[in-house]
């Protein structure tokens, strides 16, 4: 077997090598890196290393998303420090709070391109695999080290091949597939691996749906997720790419460490039970559970198509009086699109509270914190204790359709009922 994987090829190129072996540690120069509010620590690291010059600033961007607008003078001062640093060192772009979640913004704005090695100090940096990039997460100190030295180290990962066939039935989405994958793999089931999707089913998936799957690769311990470059990617990248790119594909005889296969038509709406992302069950097992808050937001599921799905269910209906429905678009662009399409109007009319584009309540640092004993149904990616700011609250994960249908009834509800008009 002489073939190599996409991950091997990208790491070899950025490491200045002809070939790299799986398991090897290689020092690379990424094509692009980005950061968010936590760039403050990267600056700390940069300064403590005694560095004065940032390497390749024209391939670095920052987007504020976690705590915007800031809650306290302390947070505001920290953001200001990042803004000043970014200007001083001429970073390629700075996106102010309200532009969106950094992962979404960097893909949307064409900074993360097919075949590139892109990195950020956030576990959901894996999202960039949606456009065929090798998108890898690192820590904040490492971003400071990258700015100071131009280099980072990565271990060349194994790749797991996931074959998709068929198409989703009505009311079933990429999120449901991802919760099924997590259920089968467990929270570290794909540890250190790249989850590479292939098969006829892939063609049916939009970049947004691919994003959801790559985003949550980290929830099964993976180093990344990646979709092959195809016509869907090509048309998405049209007029968007910020720099020239060359798509990279795994060879047909590339070494794979594991295989999985899914017939999309067999996937059911899924809900992950509180505590662990791998605790997904078919919705029939949990339907009827009372909830108090519904969150349609996060980098996983709050793009224009997600908001459209939610709006199509909530249009002309009312949010249940016992429910607080919080809607946080993943980006201003998604927000604008949903505004133009009348989807935001439908959501607000139904009783949704609209929050600024960004992370919103996902990380539990900033608004929307739950009370003890409350249950939140979320389109986000994490549900471990304390994730949304209170360890005594419960978080259930689901698709935007399930979230919208449940917001109407006040209980966890199968979205197919809403789509069949039997709600």
Partner 1 sequence: MAIAAITGTAATFGDHVSADVILPARHSFLDAEGMAANVLMDLSAEANAKVRKHAIIVAGEAFGYGTGRESPSRALRAAGVRAVVAKSFSRLFFRNAMNNGILVVQCPELVNCGVQDGDGIVLDLQVGSIVWKEKTFQFPPVTDVVAKIMAAGNLINYGRQLLASR
CA distances from 49 to 8, 29, 149 (A): 30, 19, 10
Question: 66 or 210: whose CB is closer to partner 1?
Answer: 66
Q: What is the rounded distance in angstroms from the CA atom of residue 211 to the CA atom of residue 364?
A: 22
CB of 126 to ligand SF4, least distance (A): 11
The verdict on 212 binding ligand SF4 (CB under 6 A) reads no
The CA-CA-CA angle for residues 228, 193, 220, to 5°, reads: 100
Q: Cβ(383)–Cβ(395) under 8 Å?
A: yes
Question: 149 or 353: whose CB is closer to partner 1?
Answer: 149
Site string for partner 1, 103-132 (x = CB under 8 A): ------------------xxxxx-------
Strand, helix or coil for residue 243: coil
Q: What is the rounded distance in angstroms from the CA atom of residue 189 to the CA atom of residue 192?
A: 9
The pair phi, psi for residue 377, each rounded to 5°, is -100, 125
**Contact stretch for partner 1 (CB under 8 A) within 89-97, 143-151, 261-269, 372-380:** 143-151
The verdict on 214 binding ligand SF4 (CB under 6 A) reads no
Given partner 1, ligand SF4, none, residue 101, with its beta carbon under 5 to 8 Å by kind, binds ligand SF4
**Contact stretch for ligand SF4 (CB under 6 A) within 92-100, 181-189, 307-315, 356-364:** 356-364
Closest CA to 345 of 333, 358, 354, 357: 354
Among 122, 140, 158, 394, binds ligand SF4 (CB under 6 A): 122
Q: What is the rounded distance in angstroms from the CA atom of residue 271 to the CA atom of residue 98?
A: 29
CA distances from 250 to 209, 290, 400 (A): 21, 46, 33
Q: What is the rounded distance in angstroms from the CA atom of residue 300 to the CA atom of residue 218?
A: 12
Among 1, 2, 18, 50, binds partner 1 (CB under 8 A): 50
Closest CA to 134 of 195, 207, 182: 195
Among 51, 257, 258, 363, binds ligand SF4 (CB under 6 A): 363
Among 15, 128, 132, 144, binds partner 1 (CB under 8 A): 144
Structure tokens at 378: 């979320």
Site string for partner 1, 354-393 (x = CB under 8 A): ---------xxx----------------x-xxxx-x-x--
Among 101, 220, 264, 346, binds ligand SF4 (CB under 6 A): 101
The verdict on 142 binding partner 1 (CB under 8 A) reads yes
Q: Cβ(118)–Cβ(30) under 8 Å?
A: yes
**Interface positions with partner 1 (CB under 8 A):** 25, 27, 38, 40-41, 45, 48-51, 66, 74-75, 78, 121-125, 137-142, 144-145, 148-149, 153, 187-188, 191-192, 218, 221, 223, 276, 363-365, 382, 384-387, 389, 391
């Amino acid at each position: 077997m002489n073939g190599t994987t996409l991950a091997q090829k990208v790491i070899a190129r950025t490491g200045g090598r002809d070939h790299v072996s799986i398991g090897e540690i290689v020092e690379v120069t990424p094509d692009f890196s980005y950061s968010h509010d936590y760039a403050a620590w990267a600056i700390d690291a940069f300064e403590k290393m005694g560095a004065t010059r940032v390497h390749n600033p024209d391939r670095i961007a920052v987007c504020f998303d976690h705590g915007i607008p800031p809650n306290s003078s302390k947070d505001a001062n920290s953001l200001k420090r990042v803004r000043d640093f970014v200007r001083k060192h001429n970073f390629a772009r700075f996106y102010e709070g309200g532009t969106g979640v950094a992962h979404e913004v960097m893909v949307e704005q064409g900074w993360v391109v097919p075949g590139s090695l892109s990195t950020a100090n956030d576990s959901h940096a894996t999202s960039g695999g949606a456009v065929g990039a090798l998108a890898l997460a690192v820590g904040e100190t490492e971003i400071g080290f990258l700015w100071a030295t131009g280099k980072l180290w990565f271990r060349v990962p194994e790749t797991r091949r996931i074959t998709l066939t068929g198409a989703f039935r009505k009311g079933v989405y990429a999120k449901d597939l991802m919760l099924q994958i997590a259920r089968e793999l467990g929270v570290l089931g794909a540890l250190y691996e790249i989850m590479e999707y292939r098969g006829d089913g892939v063609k049916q998936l939009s970049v947004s749906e691919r994003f959801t799957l790559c985003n949550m690769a980290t929830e099964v311990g993976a180093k990344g997720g990646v979709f092959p470059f195809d016509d869907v990617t090509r048309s998405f990248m049209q007029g968007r790419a910020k720099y020239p790119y060359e798509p990279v594909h795994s060879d047909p005889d590339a070494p794979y460490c594991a295989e999985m296969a899914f017939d999309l038509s067999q996937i059911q709406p899924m809900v992950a039970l509180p505590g662990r992302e791998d605790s997904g069950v078919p919705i029939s097992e949990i339907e009827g559970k009372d909830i108090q808050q519904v969150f349609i937001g996060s980098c996983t599921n709050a793009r224009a198509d997600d908001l459209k799905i939610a709006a199509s269910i909530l249009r002309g209906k009312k949010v249940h009086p016992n429910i607080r429905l919080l809607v946080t678009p993943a980006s201003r662009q998604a927000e604008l699109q949903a505004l133009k399409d009348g989807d935001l109007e439908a959501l607000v009319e139904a009783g949704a509270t609209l929050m600024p584009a960004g992370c919103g309540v996902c990380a539990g640092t900033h608004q929307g914190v739950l009370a003890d004993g409350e249950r939140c149904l979320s389109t986000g990616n994490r549900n471990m204790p304390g994730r949304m700011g209170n360890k005594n609250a419960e978080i259930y994960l689901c698709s935007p359709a399930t979230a919208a249908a449940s917001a109407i009834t006040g209980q966890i509800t199968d979205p197919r009922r809403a789509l069949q008009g039997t709600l």
